[in-house]
Chains A and B, each alone.
Chain A
Amino acid sequence: MDPQLTEYLTQQRWYAGRNRELTDAEPALVVALRDDIDLVLLDVSYDDGPGERYQLVLRRGDNDGDAVFDAMGDPEVANLLLSLITESATIGPVSFAAEPGAELPVGETARVMGAEQSNTSVVFDEAAILKVFRRVMPGVNPDIELTRVLSRAGSPHVAPLLGTMSLDGGPETALGMLARFADNAAEGWDMAVASTRDLYAEGDLYANEVGGDFAGESERLGHAVAAVHATLAAELGTATALFPVETMLERLAAVTASVPQVREYAAAIEGRYRALEGQPITVQRIHGDLHLGQVLRTPETWLLIDFEGEPGQSLDQRRAPDSPLRDVAGMLRSYQYAAFQRLTEGGGNEQRRKQLAARAREWADRNRAAFCTGYAEGGGTDPDAELLAAYELDKAVYEAGYEARHRPHWLDLPLGAIANIVSG
């Protein structure tokens, strides 16, 4: 393996082995897409357990001996992938496929958006977005699966699927997806933060009085999430399961072990979970990792994006039916983050901080309530309060574990939420 390429690999944001010792990186598959462009699947192994498989698209220079480089940022490569999808071409074991009836942008300017945790995205003239998965796993990709189901059902709350790239032979393995690009859209998170910025600037006005009030948007967002849940339920079915008390207790135990600040709440949290033990709940396919950063406001409506589920889990886990309240809880937690994110930056005198904290609580309460109103109107179900609280607790416990590890100064945020719920 080219040492330069190995070096390159280990510096990428999507590379998962940063804290591990890489022992080997071997190409498992090399497919020539063009004379000078190869699609490469690279098997990475470590000295301490199972490795990963990564996708690269490599381009050779014009002369022999020129460096080989990862060319996902190259518009020519992006356009090549787009035209292969348009033609529904098959090259070796790699299948490109356009969705039936999809209108694809051909010959448009490509612009690389940048690398996400698990993929690299290219936008074609604000018309389509190609996500090339960097970490490749066998199994059905939930993002493609759910985007396709929602697109075919005509849901207005999803950017329609236009095409896919996948590996033939063996278990189904997704390499990339092409979807319509929501141009003129803004992330829910950015909009919520614009609203809280306005709130903080006033200080002495209530959340329902400031100009940047977000409650109307939150209500419409609740509508959209409910509509997506309803479509997924209608298309893929629902089932009845028991409240997952064991799974939640496992997470609680793991986080309590590593985050001492959670200990004082552990008994109360467990009590809340146990109270729901044996309660039947309705499960169905859900988004799985829903928060304000996964929703887009377009001029017409709200869209949900990135149906890939929680990145840390296996594909099978992510595809397992779950309570839609997990998505609702994810959104509710996200409102608290949006409300308090500026306060976690510190600064200001105590009195001012107290006042702002009160405003932030009002904002979060107002928008959470508006979201739930919209969700209830949109789906016809008013979430069961106790059940929803349990899912919120589960999410907050997860956040506590995450913040303690990565952003200790944010830890107070999930701890505050836990305290609030268990005392309520």
Chain B
Amino acid sequence: MDASNGGVEHPSAADFEHARVLPEDRTWFKRAVFYEVLVRAFYDSDADGSGDLRGLTERLDYLKWLGVDCIWLPPFYDSPLRDGGYDIRDFYKVLPEFGTVEDFVALLDAAHRRGIRVITDLVMNHTSDTHAWFQESRRDPTGPYGDYYVWSDTSEKYQDARVIFVDTEESNWTFDAVRKQFYWHRFFSHQPDLNYDNPAVQEAMIDVLRFWLDLGIDGFRLDAVPYLFEREGTNCENLPETHAFLKRCRKVIDDEFPGRVLLAEANQWPADVVEYFGDPETGGDECHMAFHFPLMPRIFMAVRRESRFPISEILAQTPAIPDLAQWGIFLRNHDELTLEMVTDDERDYMYSEYAKDPRMKANVGIRRRLAPLLENDRNQTELFTALLLSLPGSPVLYYGDEIGMGDIIWLGDRDGVRTPMQWTADRNAGFSTANPGRLYVPPSQDPVYGYQAVNVEAQRDTTNSLLNWTRTMLAVRRRHDAFAVGSFRELGGSNPSALTYVRELDGDTVLCVNNLSRFPQPIELNLQHWNGYTPVELTGRVEFPRIGELPYLLTLPGHGFYWFSLRAPVGEEP
């Protein structure tokens, strides 16, 4: 930025040390296990009651031990925190409670030393209304920032764009008393949308990308990407101009920072989301990854209905993706599931099922953690995790779910799932040495889910704990690239409660059999393709009977699952 122009000054990456970078690998994200961690909630290094970047750095060995390949950090930028940090006040500054840019570089460096990558959220669509750009924009309509936001004399434009936060916002326009004009915002009224029709805004945001990439960050989750542009007569989502801008961002990555990734957060149908991977001819020239939103509620519905079809149906509706692209899949994250996105189409399966099942609506629609959603049922937790680790896509774990942490619903749905990581049974769950009253929120003291009962220290020492089980499954998954990048084929079968599929990569064949019912089930599989092969169970290496010409019969306990490697007959090529 040109400061002489009455502008806003930003630092340059050259002002800081840079983290070491990992060897260039353009496909790492296709095989990675992601772990979403909130800086505030993980570890407090300076006893001020809030987690920070230095604290996270101190706990990297734990994530390495667990088997995590990449950490995803929700925004840690300077912010008034009216929207969990998604309301960014300064893209070039770290929230003071979390530390400094130097602390972030130290975290990156320490993570890279352990082979762990780090990505973070970047909100492209809007800024906080406290951002200096917006303050300049409202003060001086003809100044350098006058066109940084979408201003209008009327609130009548773009009426076809829906209001997303219908609970809090009446319109996408809000009147600004200073500039005496309306400004456009797709989300909260304190989050004005940037004006991407202004080339200077595009340049300014690409400068932000370059700043963090120069420091060594491995990628960005691009928040709310469908909404960058506005055009009259459209719903202002997924516009061609938005895709063109993402292609520009991708080109910066490919030309200057190969191996770094862009992950799109577009809460839309898979058929629409694939557009964000870009041109399949090129292997994909927009985002490398995108979240598969509808899969998660389908997994919950399938187990509740004891039927594979909620999952089979959405996978059948998911189009192929470019060679260099990958889905991100998850069971839980820091956000609630926004059901209105999943149920856009009235003829859709989920629409009618949710309408019929108030309990599903209540449970999946609000912010709960995995364990309480599954009533702390270990068998179901394992089944859900096994599905997450074996269905197509890179799994994203949510911090604390690996030990079965609970939520505190009385904190309100925003903070209920953001309580401190439960490290030990000691004071403050071992999260902080601050006076308990200073903690940003208290750790859970629930008799079942509280830190006295559920914590990392106790579970590390117990072989059959959820934590050690999760770690084993991550290790098993890592041994077979077929889980990550293999082809996917459902085997079907007459039992509707069985979900069975094969993941295959270069002759490495993994067979996954899941019983979605709480009752034991017999499952008959047509495995004629693998006549003569021997299924070897992957956690214990137990050999099962050889596959013959007849249907292969398996019995599974309630909510049971098997992962097999299919071993070719000796003396034959697989």
Contact = CB atoms under 8 A, between A and B. Distances in A.
B528 A111 contact: yes
Contact of A209 (B315, B349, B359, B491): B359
A211 B306 contact: yes
A299 B312 contact: yes
A191 interface: yes
A219 B355 CA distance: 13
A92 interface: no
Which 7 residue pairs spanning A and B have beta carbons closest together?
A: A184-B492, A186-B496, A299-B312, A299-B316, A211-B304, A216-B353, A191-B496
A187 interface: yes
B542 to A, nearest CB: 28
Interface string A192-211: 00110110010000001101
A59 to B, nearest CB: 18
Contact of B305 (A109, A125, A211, A299): A211
Contacts of B312: 184, 299
21 contacts: A111-B528, A184-B493, A186-B307, A186-B309, A186-B494, A186-B496, A190-B494, A190-B495, A191-B307, A197-B306, A197-B517, A198-B306, A198-B518, A212-B305, A212-B306, A212-B307, A213-B357, A216-B356, A217-B307, A299-B312, A300-B316
A109 B530 CA distance: 12
Interface in B478-507: 490-497
B494 A300 contact: no
Interface in B508-560: 517-519, 526, 528-529
Interface of B: 303-309, 312-313, 315-316, 349, 352-353, 356-357, 359, 490-497, 517-519, 526, 528-529
Given A183-B492, A186-B496, A215-B356, 16 more contacts: A125-B528, A184-B492, A185-B492, A187-B494, A190-B496, A194-B306, A194-B307, A195-B305, A197-B519, A201-B519, A209-B359, A211-B304, A213-B305, A216-B353, A297-B496, A299-B312
**Which of A126, A215, A299 has the most B CB atoms < 10 Å from its CB?**
A299
A126 B306 contact: no
Contacts of B304: 211-212
A297 B308 CA distance: 10
A209 B495 CA distance: 23
Contacts of B496: 186, 190-191, 194, 297
Contact of B352 (A185, A211, A219, A299): A219
Contacts of B490: 184, 299
B526 A126 contact: yes
Interface string A207-230: 011011101110110000000000
B409 to A, nearest CB: 21
**Which of A190, A194, A220 has the most B CB atoms < 10 Å from its CB?**
A194
Interface in A62-116: 109, 111
Nearest to A209: B359
Contacts of A299: 309, 312-313, 315-316, 490
Interface of A: 109, 111, 125-126, 183-187, 190-191, 194-195, 197-198, 201, 208-209, 211-213, 215-217, 219-220, 297, 299-300
Nearest to B355: A216
A213 B304 CA distance: 9
Contacts of A184: 312, 490-493
Nearest to A190: B496
A109 B519 CA distance: 33
Contacts of A300: 313, 316
A220 to B, nearest CB: 8
Nearest to A211: B304
Contacts of B353: 216
Contacts of B357: 213
B315 A194 contact: no
Nearest to A300: B316
A217 B356 CA distance: 11
Contacts of B352: 216, 219-220
A246 B353 CA distance: 43
A58 to B, nearest CB: 22
Nearest to A187: B494
A297 B494 CA distance: 10
B517 A194 contact: yes
Contacts of B517: 194, 197
Contacts of A126: 492, 526
Nearest to B519: A197
A201 B519 CA distance: 10
A125 B491 CA distance: 11
A123 to B, nearest CB: 8
**Which of A183, A208, A216 has the most B CB atoms < 10 Å from its CB?**
A216
Given A111-B526, A194-B497, A297 B349 contact: no
B374 to A, nearest CB: 12
A212 B312 CA distance: 17
A232 to B, nearest CB: 22
**Which of B303, B313, B496 has the most A CB atoms < 10 Å from its CB?**
B496
Nearest to A126: B526
Contacts of B313: 299-300
B349 A216 contact: yes
A111 to B, nearest CB: 6
Contacts of B518: 198, 201
Contacts of B519: 197, 201
A156 to B, nearest CB: 13
Contacts of A195: 305-306
B345 to A, nearest CB: 14
A222 to B, nearest CB: 12
Contacts of B493: 184, 186
**Which of B309, B313, B353, B517 has the most A CB atoms < 10 Å from its CB?**
B309
Nearest to B517: A194
Nearest to A75: B549
A208 B358 CA distance: 9
B384 to A, nearest CB: 14
A185 B526 CA distance: 13
